[in-house]
Amino acid sequence: MKPQVYHVDAFTSQPFRGNSAGVVFPADNLSEAQMQLIAR
C-alpha cells in the first residue's frame, strides 16, 4: 500500500499558517530515520 501524505495546519483558519505538521498514513512501515526526515 502506498502511503498517503498530508500537510496539516493547526491553530489557524488560513492555509500555510499556524503550526504545520506532516501526517503519513499508514506509517507502520517507516523507519525512525524516515520519520525524522519527514518531520524536518
Give the total number of structural domains in the chain.
1
Does the pLDDT at position 39 exceed 80? no
Alpha carbons within 13 angstroms on the beta-carbon side of residue 8 total: 11
pLDDT confidence of residue 10: 94
pLDDT confidence of residue 16: 87
What is the span of the domain harbouring residue 12? 4-39
CA gap 26, 4 in Å, rounded = 7
Does the pLDDT at position 12 exceed 90? yes
